[in-house]
Each structure stands twice: as C-alpha cells, then as structure tokens.
Chain A
Amino acid sequence: MIKFSEEKLKQVEKIIARYPEGKQKSALLPVLHLAQQEFGGWLSPETMDYVASLLGLLTIEVYEVATFYSMYNLKPVGKYVFEVCQTGPCITRGSDDIIKYIGERLGIKPGETTPDGLFTLKTAECLGACGYAPMMQMGKGFKEHLTKEKVDEIIEECRRSAAINN
C-alpha cells in the first residue's frame, strides 16, 4: 500500500481547499502531479487508485484524466524524459529527423526507456513553442532549435550530471 507522507497529505488538503466544497474532482490534476513526483515518476494503477480514494472519485474517473495528458507517465520512465514535438511546425523544421536521431543515439524507439534507466524518448503534440522549432520538453524546461549536435550535447550533459549525482 502506497501512502503520501504526512507533509504531502497536508499539501493535498491545501490543493483540495482551492476549490469549492464538493468539487474536489478539480484537484485531480495537481494531485496526480504530486503523486507522480512522489511515487517513482510515473502513475501506476495502484497510484491512481490511491488518488481516487483520496479525492472520493471512481477509479475510472482518474484513469480517464490520467490517460489523456501526455505529462502523466503511465509506464516507468527514465531519469531524463525527452518529449519531442511532432506537430506541424516542428515537423516542417525537421523534428522527425531529430526523433530518429535521438532514437539511434540511445538505441530506443519513442515510448521506450534505455536499459540503464537514464533516458525515455516520447513524442508530444504542440507545446506552444513553434517559433523555436524543432523543440522538445525535458523535465520542466524546453530545449529549442534542436540540431543533431545540440542533441549530442544534451545527452552528454545528462550523462555527466547523472554520474555526478550518483
């Protein structure tokens, strides 16, 4: 059985309190983010069921929402998640090549994670940064104007920081 720490539970209560009485379903998105952060970077069915019980929702209501948004991971992901935009503007600026290139460099296909657990490659729909195409989201930030060289740099950078932090 998973459970938030006391401190996180307080945070959940605060989130719920942002919404009118009886509308705790509105707290679903932020609570899912919190759960994802807390429980291994992804939302297992167990995690989603736990969130459902916290908010008094049917589990199916949580699955509906969690499966809709690409920022919720429904499978375990690596330490670094590359979400490369594949909507029109990025595609015309070569994002499909970038996706392919990342895949070759890491030896994985979109949706997969490297065996060392460091990288996950995902594709995403428009992230609202068309002016800097091709681009991807990594964690909380954007990496823009991607080229093969830039991708190499990013991967190296990640490997370095992972090594230091270990």
Chain B
Amino acid sequence: MAKVFIDDIEYEVPDGKNMLEVCLSLGFDLTYFCWHPALHSIGACRQCGVINYKDENDKRGRITMACMLPASNGTRISIEAKAAHDFRAGNIESLMLNHPHDCPVCDEGGECHLQDMTLMSGHNYRRYRFKKRTHTNQYLGPFLNHEMNRCIQCYRCVRFYKDYAGGKDLDVFAAHDDIYFGRSEDGVLENEFSGNLVEVCPTGVFTDKTLKQHYTRKWDLTSAPSVCHGCSLGCNILASQRYGTIRRILTRYNGDVNGYFLCDRGRFGYEYTNSKKRIIKALKRVSGTYQPIENGNAFEEVKALMGEGKKVIGIGSPRASLESNFLLKELVGENNFYGGISNTEGNLIKQVIDILKKGKVKTPSLAEAKGYDAVFIVGEDVTNTAPMLALSLRQAAKNKPNEEAFAIRIPLWNDVAIREIVQERTGPFFIATVHHTKLDEISSGSFYGHPDNIARLGHAVAQKINNNLPSVPDADRESASLSSSIAEALLAAKKPLIVSGTSLFSKNVIEAAANVAYALKEQGKDVGLIYTVPEANSVGMTLLSENFVDDAIARVEKERADVLLILENDLYQRIGKKDSEAILKRCNQVVAFENLENETTNSCDYLFPAGTFAESTGTIVNNEGRAQRFYQVHIPRNEVRSSWKWLDILRQDLQTAEAKDFDAIVDELIQKNPELQKIKETAPTADFRIGTQKIPRSPHRFSGRTSMIANINVSEPKPPVDNDSPMSFTMEGYHGIQPSPDTAFYWSPAWNSVQAINKYQIEVGGPLHDGNPGKRLFEPDENRQAKYFNDIPSSFHPSNDELLVLPLYHIYGSEELTALSHAVKERIPQAYIALNENEARRKGLNAEGGKVEFYYQDKKWELSLKIDNSLPDGIAGLPKGLNETSGIGYPFRTKINS
C-alpha cells in the first residue's frame, strides 16, 4: 500500500498504480482520453493534467499527467487547483479546434466520452473562429462507420487495434493538425475485434454501422444483461431494443470473462433476431402448408398426440438454455431425451467435461488466460472457433517479454516504456493445427498435421516432460525436435497454458492436450488447461444428456415413434440431410420449438415460436463450466417466448395448467440435478428488491413511452411485468449500482458513455461491486493422481486415391444463427475445398477457383478449389457450416474429381 495525497487528503492506495487509476478508483471525476484500463498509459492526450507537488511545503507544484505519475508513497497532487482546471479546460479546447460540433447528428451523442469530458473540464464555449481542417472518411466494411473529423487524436484506436488485437490494416498517418486514423485506402477492416473500436474510441469516429440501420439513442433503449450465444465462451453482452427489434450489442463488463471486449461475431451477429424468417406464432401444418393455430388448440392437439401409451422422444439443443433442455427432458422422460448433437460430438464433450471435473488441472477463465506466460495450442483454430480466447492468448504472449521491463521496475501501466523495451517480441507460443491459422503470426513454432499427428506431437511433448510416459513410436525427426523445444519452453515457464478443443472431432487430440497439462502439473507447474466446445450451451446440454442423436436414430429405426419434439435445433445443420431424414421419416408427428424457419421446420407438423436470447431468460454453461444467466430484453408483441414456457404448459394438465416462473423451474432443475446447484446463485431471484424497487431495463431519460404506440392505441398500455427476474421493462426502479448480474446499462451522473463502468467496479479495471457474474460449476481436485491417457494413435498415412476431409472454421459463417445477420453475411467467405498444391496437382487440378466434385453420403457436391499449402498431404479442408457445406459431418473420406 502507498499513501498519496489528493487535494491535501490522505488516501491509502494499492501499489503499482498510476495516479489517474487511483483517482478514478477513489471516485474522483478526473478527465482523460488516451488512458484505458486494458491499454494503460501513454500520456498522449494531456487531458488528465493535475498539479503535482514535491512535498507539503511546495505551494506551486507543476502540471503533470496523472496517468504517467506513479502513485508511490508521498505522491501529492491537486485535481481542484485552478491552474489544473484551467489546464484541462484549455487542453480540451485545443483538442476540439477542428471538431465539427455535430453531436445532434452523431451516433455517439448522448453516450460520448468526449461530451462528458468536455462538460467535466469546464470548457463550454468555443472561441476558435477559423476554418476547420476536414478529412475524407473511409468505407470500412459492414461493421463500422468512419467519421474522422470527430477525432481528438488520443491514439486509443490504433493502440487497441494494432497493439492489443494484432490488427494490421488500421494505422495513423501524418502529424500534428493533419493526423489521420484509418486504413491506407477504403476497404473492410479485417481484424476480428474491430467492433471494439466503437467502445474504445471516446468520440464518434468509429460507430456501429448496424445500429445506424435502425438508430436509437442510448437513453431510448431498453436493455438486458445477456450472454453471447455465438460460441462456447459465453462473453457477457448488453442487448438493447426499441419498438420490438434488437438495435445493438455492447460489451457487458465481466472481469472474469470478456472484460471490456467482444468479438465481431458476437457484436454484429444479432440481426437474425429481427429476421423476417422468425416464427412468431404457433403453426400447424394443414395439407402441406402451415396455418396459424390458437395456442390453446395447439396445446390440446399436441397433448393428445402425446397421450397415454404413445412413444414420444425429444431432441434437445446446444443453443437452448439449461431450463429449456431440462423441461423437454421432463416432458418426454429421461430415457426418451436425446442431446441434439451427433454421438461423436456428444462423446467428445462428455470427455471434456470429465477432464474439467476429474482432471487435476485448473481450467482458467477467459480473463485468467491472459496471465499465462507460455502457450501450447493443440488442434484448435482459436481465432475462428472461440475468437475472444485468441484475444486473451495474444495478451498472454506478451507476458514473458514484459518481465524484462518489470525487472527494471517499469510498472505494467507504463505502456510506452514497456513497448520500447519489448518491441515486437512475443513469448513462447506453439501451435499444432491442421492448417495455417491466424495466431501463427505470433507463434514460436507451428506444426500442421492430421489430428492424429497433432495428438502424437502432444504425447511426445508430455513424454519429454514426464519420462515415465510411454514414448511415441516411430516419431519422425522433425516433430521430435519440435516436441523437445515445446517441452523445454513449457517447463521453463512459470505458468504454461495448454489450449485444445473439440473442433477437429478428435478424441486423440483432447487426450494428448490433457496429458501435457498433467505432466506439467506433476512437475509443480501452475499449469492451465482450456478446452473449447462447439456451441454456447454445449456443456450445459451435455450435462443433461445421456444419449445423443445417433442413439435416437437407432431407436426409431428399430421402432417408429409417435411424436418427436425438437427443441431449437435445425437437425439438417447439425447431423446432415441423410440422418435428419432418417429420423424425421420414422416419427409420425414432429413438433418443433424454433426461432427461425429452417430446413427442419419445413417438415414438422406443429411449430411453437421459441425465443432467441433476445426474448428468453435462461442459464447457459460455457466451455469453462461457468453457468451464466441471460435475461430477455423485452416481451415481444407476438407469441414468441422462452421454449421452457411452452414446455412447462405442455407437461401439465391443461385444465389446471399454471405458468411457472423462472425461479420455480430452476428450483426443480437443481433438485433433480444437484451438480447444477450453483446455477441458482448466478443471479438474484425474481423477488429481489433494492428497498422496494425493481431494477430498470431503461435509463431514467427514456422518452416516448406514452406515445410510442399511439398509432395502435392512444392510451398508454400498462407496461408488462417480468415474473422471471427482479427487473422492470421500464425506467422505473433503482438507478444506483445494481447487482452485477442484473445491470442492464452503465450510467452515473456525468458519465453517459460506456466508461461509466468505472463507477461499477471496486477498482477501475477490477471486479464489479458485488463480484463478477457467473458461477463455475466444477473445480478439479488438484491433489488427485493424474490419470494419463495411454492411447497413442499411429501416424496418418495419406491414401493414394482418397482424401480425408476435415472442417476449417470461419468466425463469420461457421455459426448457424449469426450467419443469418446482414452484416455478418457480407463477411462470409465463398465456399471452397482446400488442398495443398501437391495434392491438387496429383488430382489433376491446377487452377485455384476451378470446380472440384466429391461425394458425401452418396450425394455429389461441387465446390471451387482453394490452394492452401499449409494443409498436409492427403487432407482436404471444407469451411464448416456455410450454406454450401451445411450438414456435413466430419471427418469423412472421399474421392475427388475435377
């Protein structure tokens, strides 16, 4: 602890901080632009000027930048001195000489850090009377809008984009009054994290282009704390709506998970919730076409189908909540419930869960992953399968070189000095994947091979760490030497991190990664082991499933089923046409609970309109085993509701049926699944109040409530009540610091921008006031004896006439729902089949782009050739989940023709 003096009052503050962080953490309103809690200090904007005194006798002091001033014992500053005020007001005046003062037409207006800081600094009258310098703006792709004239030259954008996220195509040009932040020419900003510029840029230079399509001011939005459903990481989001459509997604700060950032799939992939293809009322198929049906009738008819003695089965979903999967299981009975994924995938996830629970190694959170100093990725293209993990790993790569700076007592916050020392160096970082992946640019050694060869490399590394393990037979020289350097680097690290996942559908890969981690643990290393899984609730659904879809197929093949209930699952996407048809044909009646029309809903008998994350409340479990609550943003003006609400009625006697609220379902769930006990603690129950107040979903400045539906009804309708949460759908309620899982927006007097989050944290950049939301369901017992996996696969031998086809992943396109959003759609690559040059030539193919034919499940597929020389011989790659490749199960073997 250090003692510092701020305007003559003494404060005890933690060591190793700068005075700006300290002042903000203590609640002072000190202006700043360039400092960011995740990007640290560079002293560029000069906006955090304070007076720094030598000691108590120094009456004059000198202007110093608080963000560059260490908060060491005896540091003495004044924020309030007139000279300090004048300096800050004058500084902002000069930063804004060329600013267009166009707040009324600026998308940032009303939630702009520049507006807030201007007001706070006391500069409120423009004196500059001359012609302003203007810039040309650029086209930056479907995600971001560019308005360079609003720039105040804080450099945050390039520091985030280049230094933090590894972007290459955004930079700063020219100098002094002509400085320009942008690309070298018009074009799509390529980095997967570009959307964070919306929140990082303190002004309206970079704004959300998808929001612009249906623009709403912050104060007019109704928002809910939610969890991204884009991949298995479960980043926290704030989802906002007006007039019944979702308008945008912002980061919801969670110091244990995603911190201040999101990936672009998560931020811009929400528009499918507003799609015209949404199913918005109950439908029944009558002679081939769907007709609306009254809810009551739908219930009765479906119940009648499921009556006494009927064979009913249910298929769950890895993108539906625990509660919905649970109620489907309750409705159809334990033995008739099947997790909605292939057995291959189900078994892999089961194995991952088993390792999470019984392995002896800690699975760090997304945020903790940033703290490791050596990384070994075993078979995962993280940037495309779990994007935000790639962002964490990029930070981990800096830890080793940063130590050099710490050794000469440079604190972490002094970013200029650190970068001067570190330059572009990165720490030990090894990657074994099927083909070249984006993180290769920071890797110290990359290996491309068949999943079995990746696993063999992993086993070899484990064996070199623990010599008692069996050695890998017939290892070639190259991978032997690579495995030695990896083992050496991991052993030399303080905190090595092993990353793997299910994306290659390889048990061997998963096992090899665990072995490396176990071996390191036994050497006393503080090792971490992270697995990624395919979808948002893959872990949650699998925890409730004993059987999967292949079991269901086997069952209906033996004996037809009367009724099949499908929960939020396009079977065609997940298990392919052949298997989907196999199951659909053998069930007499098919009832689906679904968000949008898709291939599966084309062949159902009844459809119930199921809520997406936007209209549902529920719990999902991420790859780390963290259960997180998401809340419905609004009650839509149609019949859409959480699937569990439909299922809850269906399982009751319709005469006496009573809608249960969310907490009752959770209670029932944990009573039957005690290992899920903690999901109840993920958020307060619906009867929670602050005093007598609920928690509002809208800010107190919300406008138009009495008139917004006047075209339909001139008298203001009674606002809907949310029985499933302690939140209101309006601005009524408690406007102070709310429970962290239930905070729907950030606002504090004088802080209207996202940076109001400072006020919700115990310490800026640290945990939220009552802890970061989410509960981890399992922790490994670190003292347990590690049970190594002993199956070492043999090396892959390419066959002469057949190719082995593996999935390649794309952040835009490989996830089913986000791929339906306009902005994301623009970024989906052309479908292709990738081969290396050798292999292509051998097959008589030469021109990239040429047509290639192959067979999968007796059907002919045609795609254009893409040459990727990093792919090993004998292996072809297909983009997973694009329209043209949807429903393909991996891996498979095929012959190809030109």
> Is A58 in contact with chain B by the CB < 8 A criterion?
yes
- Measured CB to CB, the closest approach of chain A to B422, in angstroms, equals 14
Whether A60 sits at the interface, judged by CB under 8 Å, is yes
Q: How far is the CB of B172 from chain A (nearest CB, A)?
A: 6
Chain B residues whose C-beta falls within 8 Å of the C-beta of A70 in the assembled complex:
175
Contacts of A68 in B (CB 8 A): 173-175
Instruction: Choose one: B168, B169, B173, B183; the contact of A67 (CB below 8 Å).
Output: B173
| Nearest CB of A to B877, in Å | 26
> Smallest CB-CB separation from B175: which chain A residue?
A68
Point out the residues of chain A lying under 8 angstroms from B183, CB to CB: 60
A60 touches B184 (CB 8 A): yes
Q: Is B853 an interface residue (CB 8 A)?
A: no
- Is B176 an interface residue when CB atoms closer than 8 A count as contact? yes
Cross-interface CB contact of B169 among A60, A69, A125, cutoff 8 Å: A60
Asked if A6 lies at the interface with its beta carbon under 8 angstroms from chain B, I say no
Identify A58's interface contact among B168, B174, B180, CB under 8 A. B168
**B45 CB to closest chain A CB, in angstroms?**
18
Question: Within 8 Å of chain B (Cβ to Cβ): is A59?
Answer: yes
Tell whether, in the assembled complex, residue A60 and residue B168 are in contact, meaning their CB atoms are under 8 Å apart.
Answer: yes
Tell me which residues from 169 to 189 in chain B have a Cβ below 8 Å from any Cβ of chain A: 169, 171-176, 180, 183-184
In the complex, the answer to whether A63 meets B175 with C-beta atoms within 8 Å is no
Contact A64 B175, beta carbon cutoff 8 Å: no
Complex: how many Å from CA A70 to CA B174? Answer: 9
B290 to chain A, nearest CB (A): 52
Point out the residues of chain A lying under 8 angstroms from B169, CB to CB: 60
- Inter-chain contacts of A60 with B (CB < 8 A): 168-169, 171, 183-184
Chain B interface, >50% SS class: loop
Binary flags per residue of A26-70, CB closer than 8 Å to B gives 1, else 0:
000000000000000000000000000000001111011001111
Residue picked from B175, B176, B184, most chain A C-beta under 10 Å: B184
- Return the CB mask of A56-89 against B: 1 if under 8 Å, else 0: 0011110110011110000000000000000000
Shortest distance between the CB of A28 and any CB in chain B (Å): 14
Main secondary structure of the interface of A (DSSP, over half): helix
Question: B172 to A64, Cβ gap below 8 A?
Answer: yes
Chain A nearest CB, measured from B420 CB (Å): 14
Residues of A within 8 A of B173 (CB): 63-64, 67-68
Instruction: Return A105 CB to nearest CB of chain B, in Å.
Output: 24
Size category of the A interface is 10 to 19
CB distance from B158 to the nearest CB of A (A): 9
Bound-state CA distance A69–B172 (Å) is 13
With a cutoff of 8 Å between Cβ atoms, the chain B residues found around residue A59 in the complex are: 184
Report how far A34 CA is from B174 CA in the complex, Å.
20
Cα–Cα, bound, A155→B180 (Å)? 34
**Interface members, chain B 769-812 (any A CB < 8 Å):** none
Contacts of B174 in A (CB 8 A): 67-68
Distance from B120 Cβ to chain A, minimum over Cβ atoms (Å): 29
Q: What chain B residues lie within 8 Å of A61 (beta carbons)?
A: 171
B-chain residues with CB within 8 Å of residue A63 when the two chains form the complex:
171, 173, 184
Minimum CB–CB distance from B174 to chain A (whole Å) comes to 4
Residues in A with CB closer than 8 Å to B172 are 64
Most buried by B among A58, A61, A64, A69: A64
- Decide if A64 touches B176 in the complex (CB within 8 Å): no
* Nearest CB of chain B from residue A155's CB, rounded to whole Å: 27
In the complex, A61→B183 CA distance in Å? 11
Give the distance in Å from the alpha carbon of A125 to the alpha carbon of B175 in the complex.
11
**A70 CA to B178 CA, complexed, in Å:** 12
Tell me the nearest residue of chain A to B178, going by C-beta. A67
CB distance from A61 to the nearest CB of B (A): 8
Smallest distance from the beta carbon of A88 to chain B beta carbons, Å?
Answer: 13
A67→B173 CA distance, assembly (Å):
6
Give the distance in Å from the alpha carbon of A61 to the alpha carbon of B174 in the complex: 12
> Which of chain B's residues has its CB closest to A125's CB?
B176
B169: nearest chain-A partner, CB-CB: A60
- Expressed in whole angstroms, the minimum distance between the Cβ of A20 and any Cβ of chain B is 10
Specify which chain A residues have a CB less than 8 angstroms from the CB of B175 in the assembled complex: 67-70
The interface residues of chain B lying within 8 Å CB-to-CB of A69 are 175
Interface string of B143-174 (1 = CB under 8 A from A): 00000000000000000000000001101111
User: Interface code B178-204, partner A: CB below 8 Å = 1, 0 otherwise?
Assistant: 001001100000000000000000000
Residues of chain B within 8 A of A125, CB atoms compared: 176
Q: Which residue of A lies closest to B176 (CB)?
A: A125
B325 to chain A, nearest CB (A): 47
CA distance A125 to B174 in the complex (A): 13
B155 to chain A, nearest CB (A): 12
Closest to B168 in A: A58
Closest chain-B Cβ to A42's Cβ sits at a distance in Å of 15
Q: CA A64 – CA B180 in complex, angstroms?
A: 10
**What is the CB-to-nearest-CB distance from A145 to chain B, in angstroms, rounded to a whole number?**
25
Q: What separation, in Å, do the CA atoms of A58 and B169 have in the docked complex?
A: 9
Measured in the bound complex, the distance between the Cα atoms of B169 and A63 in whole Å is 11
Nearest A residue to B158, CB-CB: A64
Contacts of A58 in B (CB 8 A): 168
Question: In the docked arrangement, what's the CA distance between A70 and B175, Å?
Answer: 9
In the complex, what residue of chain B is closest to A60 when comparing beta carbons? B184
Assembly CA distance A74 to B534 (angstroms): 50
Report Cα–Cα, A59/B183, bound state, in Å.
Answer: 11
Distance in angstroms from A49 CB to nearest chain B CB is 10
Q: How far is the CA of A70 from the CA of B172 in the complex (A)?
A: 15
A122-156 interface (Cβ within 8 A of B): 125
Closest to B184 in A: A60
A68–B181 CA distance with the chains assembled, in angstroms: 12
Q: Output the least CB separation between B187 and chain A (Å).
A: 11
Using an 8 Å CB-CB cutoff, how does the interface string of A87-130 with B read, 1 for contact, 0 for none? 00000000000000000000000000000000000000100000
Smallest beta-carbon distance B176→chain A, Å: 7
Residues of A within 8 A of B176 (CB): 125
* Bound complex: CA A117 to CA B176 (Å): 28
Minimum CB–CB distance for B424 against chain A, Å: 9
- CB contacts (< 8 Å) of B168 on chain A: these are 58, 60
Instruction: Give A107 to B168 CA distance when docked, in angstroms.
Output: 42
Complex Cα gap A58–B174 (Å): 17
Complexed CA–CA distance, A8 and B184 (Å): 28
Minimum Cβ distance to chain A for residue B818 (Å): 29
Q: Hey, which chain A residues are within 8 Å of B184, CB to CB?
A: 59-60, 63
Nearest Cβ in chain B — how far from A66, in angstroms? 9
A60 to B173, CA, bound (A): 9
Cα-based distance from A63 to B171 in the complex (angstroms): 9
A25 (CB) vs chain B CBs: closest residue = B424
Distance A70 CA – B184 CA, assembled complex (angstroms): 18
CB distance from B444 to the nearest CB of A (A): 14
Please name all residues of chain A whose beta carbon is closer than 8 Å to the beta carbon of B180 when the two chains form the complex.
67
Write the nearest CB–CB distance from B419 to chain A, whole angstroms. Answer: 14
A66 — nearest CB in chain B belongs to which residue?
B173
Bound complex: CA A163 to CA B168 (Å): 48
* A58, A60, A61, A125 — most chain B CB neighbours (10 Å): A60
Residues of B within 8 A of A67 (CB): 173-175, 180
A94–B824 alpha-carbon span in the complex (Å): 57
A129 CB → nearest B CB, Å: 19
Nearest Cβ on chain B to A74's Cβ, whole angstroms: 9
CA distance A68 to B173 in the complex (A): 6
Residues of chain A within 8 A (CB-CB) of B171 are 60-61, 63-64
B425 → chain A closest CB, angstroms: 10
Complex Cα gap A60–B138 (Å):
15
In the complex, what's the smallest C-beta–C-beta distance from B138 to chain A, in angstroms? 13
Q: How far is the CA of A11 from the CA of B815 in the complex (A)?
A: 52
A-B contact pairs, 24 of them (CB 8 A): A58-B168, A59-B184, A60-B168, A60-B169, A60-B171, A60-B183, A60-B184, A61-B171, A63-B171, A63-B173, A63-B184, A64-B171, A64-B172, A64-B173, A67-B173, A67-B174, A67-B175, A67-B180, A68-B173, A68-B174, A68-B175, A69-B175, A70-B175, A125-B176
A residues near B, CB below 8 A?
58-61, 63-64, 67-70, 125
Residues of B within 8 A of A (CB): 168-169, 171-176, 180, 183-184
A-B CB proximity, top 3 nearest: A67-B173, A67-B174, A60-B184
Given contacts A58-B168, A70-B175, 4 further A-B contacts (CB under 8 A): A59-B184, A60-B171, A63-B184, A125-B176
